[in-house]
Chain A
Amino acid sequence: MTTPAVADRSGADEHPEEGIGAAVLGPPPQAPVLAPAGTSRERPRRRTGRIALRTAVVATLVLLTVVFIYPLVWLLSASFKPRSDVFDNRLIPKTFTVENYLTVWQEAPIALWLGNTLVVTALAAVTVTLTSALVAWGFAFYRFRGRGPLFTLVLATMMLPGAVTLIPTFLIWNQLGLVGTNVPLWAGNLFGSAFYIFLLRQFFLGLPRDPFEAAMLDGASSWTMFWRIALPLCKPAIVLTFLFEAQASWTDLMRPLIYLQDSDTFTIPRGLKALVDQFGTGGESQWEVVVTAGVLTTVPMILLFFLGQRYFVDGVATTGSKG
């Protein structure tokens, strides 16, 4: 049997001007128009085998989940312990107390910070998803001279450590008079971000050609092809981009640290750092506060992700035929 996968190498050589971009990512597997994974008529013996396999798989996954989740559960349980018990390694607190949360709530305008963070995160995630999709589409659908080198440039922007562009970037925002506002925290996303451009281009390259050719025959505009055909077909990738950026923006400490000054404008990570530092004066490291602060930072994102994954439809298979 010849697997089409390994046989065809010639495609790569036919378009040398593709250069880096196409070679890198090549198209990921295409959208199957056919039956979604997992359904087929199988003999009963095979099915028992499959059930056994699935049980084994699920069991392994459960075990791995325990390993992955344990530290988070540890954090959560530690936040309900009084200071003396924080390190006792018990999952169920010996002394259960909500006092840490009360302390944090009283000492700091958590609700305000939550609101600030929500605004910044929403703006950051929405803008980056939209613009990265636009840019990625430009790289995926169209061929033009210089596409490869330009895409290389996009990739290259990820390769310079942020530490040395920190101050020049700050100077730009300062020049625009926007230091002290939350604009620098998200406005950079108005121009797309290399990581998501890379990722979305990847998914776009895997889309089937047919719907687009049909649309072109129907005289659809470029915008329509992007907005009405490509995007809906790539919903999982879009949702994924949104969630990834939401997580990154939510937990970002460095940008609020240098751009925000007034504690009313703080986001959660920045506010919690101030809180923790407060308890640090005099040198007493109140771990229970640190841990509670950690939980407060992560729980909203966890909730969001659980909500978001309901909309996260796997694969393109179930989005209907595009014949």
Chain B
Amino acid sequence: MAYPTRVGTAALAFSLVLAGCAQGTGSSGEAPEFSPDAPLEGELSIMGFGTGDEIGQVRYDRAVAALGDVDVSLSEGALDIQAFLSAVASGNPPDLVYASRDLIGSFASRGAVVPLDQCVEAEGIDVDAFDQAAVDQVTFAGSLYGVPEFNTVQVVMANAVLLSAAGVTVDDVDGSDRAAATAANDALTRQDGGRLSVIGVDPKLPEFLPLWSHALGTDLISADGRTAQLDDPAVLEALEWAIDLYDAQGGFSGVKSYRDSADAFGAGNQLATGALGAMPMEHWYVNVLNESSPDAPLTFSTVKDAEGEPIAYAGGSAWAVPTDAENPAAACAFARLMTETDAWTEAAQARADARAESGTLFTGLLTGNTEADQLIRDELVPADAPAPWSEAIEATYEANEHTFSLPANPADNAFKTAWQDAVNRVLNGQQEPAEALAQAQTEAQAALDDAWATWDER
């Protein structure tokens, strides 16, 4: 048994040595250096960004050029959590990471990314230029952890012909008057031989529950991010109203199937074909509609709260610097270069040019940088766009001025899963709204308490 035992022992020894070395390295605990005079050199690795369109490409090229001596390497593609966590665990995280803003809270509270206050100072990043709601989303325990990029807002999009045929206007379906919306839904929806042929009003559950609950004056989580408010009566009311809209159309299942079966991104989209009355949707869909069905009879407005004020639930991405990044200074500089006003205006110019060439409309760009937004709107967005697109542009920018967001919290994902699961259970007919929200409240609060406790101990 000579050889095999020896081989076996050797392998075992080797693996033990490997095991000893291959422990995950937690944070080294040192704060990174962000000094204004530090020379920018070395390598910069970026994870989670894609340069697919001109908005990304133009800014990226500009930033890389400005960082002359720095060797920038980008791992193309949306951030994959497995890849990111593996890199962090091994002690070799990327220097700069591009993530959805609602992940920042979890990362920040666990020390995966560093506070950027020093970075902001050193690089002279103008935080005031950014949209407040966006900044709030990346602020945790008083510190800024991300540099916001992009803003996504909601716009009510509707088929004008269907609305007028049903005797309602877009004001009835923008959420400001729930009773009116319910009535409009009843008037708009149609069944054909037992199958849904026209969706009336689609409140887009579960993702837009925060929007509807905010419209009724309550957010899903308290402003300090510590207390879940999922069993608040306002939330319940919002949920029940939205569920009723689906029930009046034969149930969510039918609506979803019908919705899924149409080509949302082509000429066959349901607004164009008269298969959908009204829905709130992320603002970028305006571009899709403009490209694929420019002649459809559409009308647009902002979502409104119970007082008739426009509201929008802002989302977007942000640049963050992982702990133990090797080149935080360059990372910070890169983040500034990507999000500063000039970068945006250049990129928007490129897009406007491309649109002009192809004969389509430039409907604006929401950058998360309000200064840039204004400049782009003034200089590049046509003031004389044909209706309904001018309406759409108007609605988009108005929504952008009335954004709100949920504060960063250390249990982002668990919290979101808790309330989304609750809504899904109701949508699937497995639970009643009140029960579902009560359950979600318990789950969410437990997750929050747990996560906050870990943070407080640090």
A281-B52, A281-B56 known; A175+B22 contact, CB < 8 A? yes
> Is residue A282 contacting chain B, with contact meaning CB distance below 8 A?
yes
Q: In the complex, what residue of chain A is closest to B262 when comparing beta carbons?
A: A87
Check B90–A280 contact: CB distance below 8 A: no
CB distance from B207 to the nearest CB of A (A): 13
Residue of A nearest to B79 (CB): A277
The reply to whether B90 and A174 form a contact with Cβ atoms under 8 Å apart is yes
Residue contact B50 to A179, C-beta cutoff 8 Å: no
Question: Which chain A residue has the least Cβ–Cβ distance from B98?
Answer: A281
Shortest B121–chain A CB gap in Å is 30
Those of B67-86 within 8 Å (CB) of chain A: 73-78, 80, 82-83, 85-86
B42 interfacial by beta-carbon distance below 8 Å: no
B55: Cβ under 8 A from any A Cβ = yes
List of A residues within 8 angstroms of B52 by Cβ: 277-282
In the complex, identify which listed stretch (A6-14, A57-65, A163-171) lies at the interface while the others stay far away: A163-171
Closest residue on chain B to residue A84 by CB atoms: B266
A216 contacts partner chain B, Cβ-Cβ < 8 Å: no
- Contact for B268 among A88, A167, A284, CB less than 8 A: A88
CB-defined interface of A244-269 with B at 8 Å, one 1/0 digit per residue? 00000000001001100111000000
- Give A42-86 as 1s and 0s: 1 = Cβ < 8 Å from B's Cβ atoms: 000000000000000000000000000000000000000001111
Q: Is the CB of B284 within 8 A of A284?
A: yes
- Chain A residues, Cβ within 8 Å of B91: 174
Cβ–Cβ < 8 Å partners of B285 in chain A = 283
Query: When the two chains form their complex, are residues B263 and A86 in contact, meaning their CB atoms are under 8 A apart?
Result: yes
Contact B45 A261 (CB under 8 A): yes
Contact of B50 among A262, A277, A284, A286 (CB under 8 A): A277
How many Å from the CB of A183 to the closest CB on chain B?
Answer: 15
Query: Nearest-CB distance from A242 to chain B (Å)?
Result: 27
A residues near B262, Cβ cutoff 8 Å: 87
Within the assembled complex, what's the spacing in Å between the Cα atoms of A173 and B47? Answer: 20
Cα(A206)–Cα(B55), bound, Å: 62
Residue of A nearest to B25 (CB): A171
Query: Nearest-CB distance from A165 to chain B (Å)?
Result: 12
**Complex interface residues of chain B between 59 and 116 (CB less than 8 A to chain A):** 73-78, 80, 82-83, 85-87, 89-92
Q: Are A171 and B77 in contact (CB under 8 A)?
A: no
Chain B interface residue bracket vs A = 35 or more
Say whether, besides A261-B45, A277-B78, A281-B53, A83 and B86 are in contact (CB < 8 Å): no
Contacts of A277 in B (CB 8 A): 50, 52, 76-78
Asked if B51 is an interface residue, CB under 8 A from chain A, the answer is yes
The answer to whether B82 touches A179, judged by C-beta atoms less than 8 angstroms apart, is no
Residues of A within 8 A of B257 (CB): none
Which one of B74, B77, B268, B284 lies within 8 Å of A84 (CB-CB)?
Answer: B268
Whether B284 lies near A283 (C-beta < 8 A) is: yes
Chain A minimum-CB-distance residue to B78: A277
Q: Which of A166, A176, A258, A279 has the most CB of B within 10 A?
A: A258
A278 to B282 alpha-carbon distance, docked (Å): 18
Closest B residue to A284 using CB positions? B288
Q: A167 and B86 in contact (CB under 8 A), knowing A263-B76, A278-B50?
A: yes
Interface positions of A from 178 to 201, Cβ below 8 Å from B? 179
* A166 to B4 alpha-carbon distance, docked (Å): 29
Contacts of A83 in B (CB 8 A): 265-266, 292
A285 interface residue, CB < 8 Å from B?
A: yes
Measured in the bound complex, the distance between the Cα atoms of B53 and A283 in whole Å is: 11
Chain B residues with CB below 8 A from A280, complex form: 50, 52, 78
CB neighbours of A262 from chain B (8 A) = 73, 75
Q: When chains A and B are docked, how far (Å) is the Cα of A300 from the Cα of B100?
A: 35
Contact assessment for B82 and A258 in the assembled complex, using a CB-CB cutoff below 8 Å: yes
Contacting pair B73 A261 (CB below 8 A): yes
Q: Does B18 contact A (CB under 8 A)?
A: yes
Q: Once the chains are docked, how many angstroms separate the CA of A254 from the CA of B83?
A: 9
Residues of B within 8 A of A170 (CB): 86, 89-90
Docked CA distance A286–B267 (Å): 13
Given contacts A282-B284, A284-B287, contact A166 B82 (CB under 8 A): yes
Residues of B within 8 A of A (CB): 18, 21-24, 45, 47, 50-53, 55-56, 73-78, 80, 82-83, 85-87, 89-92, 152, 261-263, 265-268, 282, 284-285, 287-288, 292
**Further 11 A-B residue pairs, CB within 8 A, beyond A258-B83, A283-B152, A284-B284:** A87-B266, A167-B24, A175-B22, A257-B82, A258-B87, A261-B73, A277-B50, A278-B76, A281-B56, A283-B285, A285-B265
CB-CB nearest 7 A-B residue pairs: A278-B52, A84-B266, A274-B77, A274-B76, A174-B90, A278-B50, A171-B22
Footprint of B on A, CB under 8 Å?
83-88, 166-168, 170-172, 174-176, 179, 254, 257-258, 261-263, 270, 273-274, 277-287
